[in-house]
Chains A and B, each alone.
Chain A
């Protein structure tokens, strides 16, 4: 991956160091701009007041969660496919799933903070909320599976299959929960709210938020990837050192 001549980072980085640094600064700058627009630039919502400003974080966070799990599924599929099998994809899948779980949690927390003033409750048994909660637990289990030590290839295969199972399960959960909430009680009040048209600065801020969070996602992905690679490298070295020690003890 890194062909820039730095011998230290061979194979352990996803992006070239300069590119990664640039991405980091861009992400930081866009987050500052987002904060300025979200807090002051965008007008106050007529109905929801200042609480609506949480949407500028909540919606991009949810988008990143989906993006991250998509990347995890893609990485896992590429690892399983014999022609494209490479450690890179296993690491990308793992790093992305971690970010996805964090942003799913963030989505739930932000949504809850927003729901309290606007809906009057912290939590509602709305289809979207329940699906997101199940999503959170699905990938939390995946991360638990990743933490279990095993031979790299065995672990990668196991995790890749688990990730694809989770990915396949998401639409089923989505459908079943949707049916559940619509067959039994007719359309909850807030289902259509997100479809409300928004204009001008508010729309710009929301889209800009999605862009800023996407930059943050790729920056974090690169960093997590690097850490995972270094971790694996360290483990490998420890094993080698232990073997050398054993051999030394036997021969002396």
Chain B
């Protein structure tokens, strides 16, 4: 449903993805591209950008329902909490993946890095994306219906996903350096994080939606 709205409005395509690209450009301004700093810190910049953009995606995901009593509609839809949670989280995840593909291509082309070992890199990205989408959706519904939602969600979400940034960045670095053995523990950590928060989200989404 969220993806259908996205198909009609193209907020992600026209606003969130360009936002990510601008942030990547700003990093180049801030860090002086000539000295090779960009290449060394590219994974970190990439994931910081994804996290910032994910705040927008989450905000959008729950902004959709803020008007016209759409949340009541959702509550009355007869779908149970876990299903609704999975639906919304999947929608956020798909949008983030689209963003990541564009950003990764940009990082490779513009920052001039090479992605060597693709398998751990892709798995780490998938697990990190699911983790961010799950926690984002969870905090999104937690703050839904609150007037200060836009400022509250970042304060709550960013410390919780700090391990995702850490893990995904290290996994990318290892993959870029061509040392997959260094990446696997991080992929495992990201997977645990994703599973854990998907489970919590499925349990908590229903009760939280009732109160929102």
Contacts and interface: CB of A to CB of B under 8 A. Distances in A.
Interface in B91-142: 135, 138, 142
A168 B196 contact: yes
Contact of A176 (B155, B167, B196): B167
A158 B160 contact: no
Contacts of B182: 183
Contact of B208 (A142, A161, A168, A173): A161
A134 interface: yes
Given A180-B170, A183-B182, A134 B138 contact: no
Interface string A150-190: 11011001100110111011001101110110011000000
B163 A173 contact: yes
B155 A172 contact: no
Chain A CB within 10 Å — which of B135, B158, B159, B170 has the most? B159
Interface string A132-154: 00100110111011001011011
A165 B137 CA distance: 13
B146 A148 contact: yes
Given A145-B156, A165-B200, A183-B170, A157 B208 contact: yes
B166 A166 contact: no
B93 to A, nearest CB: 19
- Number of chain A interface residues as a range: 20 to 34
A137 B163 contact: no
A176 B138 contact: no
Contacts of A173: 162-163
Nearest to B163: A176
Chain B contact residues: over half helix, strand or loop, or mixed?
helix
A176 B189 contact: yes
B163 A140 contact: no
A158 B208 contact: yes
Contact of A161 (B142, B148, B162, B192): B142
A148 B162 contact: no
Contacts of A153: 211
A162 B156 contact: yes
Contacts of A164: 200
Nearest to A139: B159
Contacts of B196: 168, 172
B210 to A, nearest CB: 9
B36 interface: no
Contact of B160 (A144, A166, A184): A166
A157 B207 contact: yes
Contacts of A151: 211
B92 to A, nearest CB: 17
Interface string B69-97: 00000000000000000000000000000
Chain B CB within 10 Å — which of A145, A153, A166 has the most? A145
B155 A144 contact: yes
B204 interface: yes
Interface string B179-212: 0001001100100110011001000100110010
10 contacts: A134-B162, A140-B155, A144-B152, A158-B142, A158-B211, A164-B200, A165-B160, A165-B200, A175-B163, A179-B185
Interface of B: 135, 138, 142-143, 146, 148, 152, 155-156, 158-160, 162-163, 166-167, 170, 182, 185-186, 189, 192-193, 196-197, 200, 204, 207-208, 211
Given A166-B160, A172-B189, A173-B162, 13 more contacts: A138-B160, A141-B155, A148-B152, A157-B208, A158-B208, A165-B138, A169-B159, A172-B163, A175-B189, A176-B189, A179-B189, A180-B166, A180-B170
Interface of A: 134, 137-138, 140-142, 144-145, 148, 150-151, 153-154, 157-158, 161-162, 164-166, 168-169, 172-173, 175-177, 179-180, 183-184
